[in-house]
Structure 1
C-alpha cells in the first residue's frame, strides 16, 4: 500500500489516516521488508553505518591519547564508553530523526542539497568533534588521577596545560581535518543514496499498484 500526503477533503474512501509518527513507523517497517536488499540498504543501514564511522573515530582518538599518556590498561572501559559509544549512538539516532525522517516521508518542501549539507554538518559535529574533544579530556583526567603521567594542571598552570595539549595534538593535526571532512562527506553521500533509494522504491510501488500487482 502506498503512503501519500493529502488533506481531509481529498482522502479517498477506505484510506487509513496516519499521524506523522505513525507514517514514519509504517514506512520504516515497509522499507525493512522491501525484497530488493541492494536498493533498500541505504535506508536500512545508513544511520548504522554513520554510527560505526563515529565509533571508529572515537577509537582512533582514544587509542592515540591513551598511548601518548601511557595509560595502558588503566580505565580502558571507562574511557572507551563515552568516546566511542556516545558519538556512535547520537550519530545514528540524530541522522535517523533529523535527516532520514523527511526522506522517508517524501516531504516536498525539503531542499535535497540543504538536507545533504545538514547531514554533513551533523556528522562532523557528532562523529568527529565530539570524540575529538572527549578523548583528550577523558585520557588526561585518567592520567592525572592515576599519576601515570606528569602533566600541568589547567587550574594551576593554564598556559602550560594549553601548550601541553597542543604538543599532543600536533602529530595528528593534519589528519584530523581529513577525518572531519571524511565524516561530513560520508554523511552527505549517504543522504543522497537514501533519497535516491526512497524515490526508486516509491516509484516501483506506485507502478506495481497501478498494474494491479502486489509487490510485497
Structure 2
C-alpha cells in the first residue's frame, strides 16, 4: 500500500485512512524490510551519517581546547561524554523526530524548508553546541587540575570571553568549514530522503497495479 498525504476532499472512497503515527510505523516497517537497501540508503542511514559528522566536529574542537589548556589525560572521558557524545545523540534524535516525519508524510509542501530545518539542526548540534560546551568543559578541568592560568569567571567574565575568543581565533576557518559542511551535508541527505520516499511510494503503487491486474503473486515482497 502506497502512503499518500491528502486533504479529506481528495481521499478516494476505497482508501485506507490511518493516523500519522500509524503511517510512520507502517513506513518504518517497509524501510526495515526493504531488500535492496541501496535504493533507500538515505532513509536507512542519514541519521547515523549526520551523527558521525557531528562527532568529527566535536572531537576536533574538544581536542584543540584540551591541547591548548594542556589537559593531557585529565578528565578525557568525562569531557568527551557531554561535548562529543551528547551532541551526536541529540542531533540524531532531532533529525529523526523533527525532519524525517515531514519527509515521509509530506506534511510540509516546501521541501526546501524541511531541508533548511535539517541544516539548522545539524549546525546547532555539530558546531554551535560544541562551541559553547567544549570551552566550559575544558576551563573546568584546567581550573581543577591547575594546567592553565584562567581569569575568574565571577570577577572577570569579560576576560574569560576574550580568552575564549583568543583561543578560537586560530581555528576560525576550520570551524567555519565544518559548519558549512554539516549544513550542506544535512540538506543534501534530506533531499536524498525525499527521493527515497518517492521511490518507495512509486514502487508500491506499481505493485498495487500489478496485484490488481494479477501480474504479481500476493506473496511477492519488496
Deviation per CA, 1:99-128: give whole Å up to 9, x if none: 111111233x43011111111111111221
Pick from 201, 218, 221: which aligns with 1:215? 221
For 2:29 and 2:57, locate their aligned partners in 1 and report how far apart those are by CA, in whole Å: 30
For 1:61 and 1:215, locate their aligned partners in 2 and report how far apart those are by CA, in whole Å: 47
Q: Are residues 1:154 and 2:184 paired? A: no
Q: Give the conservation status (yes or no) of the 8 Å contact 1:102–1:110.
A: no
For 1:10 and 1:202, locate their aligned partners in 2 and report how far apart those are by CA, in whole Å: 17
1:98 alignment partner in structure 2? 98
2:172 alignment partner in structure 1? 173
Deviation per CA, 1:165-195: give whole Å up to 9, x if none: 2221111011111111111001000101000
Aligned alpha-carbon RMSD (Å): 1.8
For 2:72 and 2:34, locate their aligned partners in 1 and report how far apart those are by CA, in whole Å: 46
Structure 1 residues 58-77: aligned runs within 5 Å: 58-77=58-77
Gaps of 5+ in 2: none
Deviation per CA, 1:104-156: give whole Å up to 9, x if none: 1233x430111111111111112210112111110011111121211112212
2:115 alignment partner in structure 1? 116
2:196 alignment partner in structure 1? 197
Q: TM-score, normalised by structure 2?
A: 0.89
Structure 1: 4+ residue segments shifted above 3 A? 4-11
Q: Give the conservation status (yes or no) of the 8 Å contact 1:95–1:119.
A: yes
Q: Give the conservation status (yes or no) of the 8 Å contact 1:103–1:194.
A: yes
1:88 alignment partner in structure 2? 88
SS of residue matched to 1:150: coil
> C-alpha displacement at 1:50, in angstroms?
0.6
